[in-house]
Amino acid sequence: MTELVTPRDLSLELKILQKAIRDYLCQTYGLLSTRDEVRWRLDAEQTAATRNYFPLR
């Protein structure tokens, strides 16, 4: 089973605010409420896209 990543995980890794990551996710994948979800749990493809969007600081 693939391990899912959260905005918090990426925030710590990329050294940026969780809100910035969540804002990007909402713009890219839509609001959680429209996806019948309550928390962001990113698969490998979503995680890679987010890492590519935010350069490592």
Residue range 8-30, pLDDT digits in tens: 999 999 999 999 999 999 999 98
Lowest mean pLDDT among 1-10, 19-28, 29-38, 40-49: 29-38
- Contacts by 5-13, CB closer than 8 A, 24 or more apart: 5/41, 5/42, 5/46, 5/47, 6/39, 6/40, 6/41, 6/42, 7/40, 7/42, 10/42, 10/47, 10/50, 10/51, 10/54, 13/51
Instruction: State the pLDDT confidence band at 1, using cuts at 50, 70 and 90.
Output: low
The confidence score (pLDDT) of residue 56 equals 73
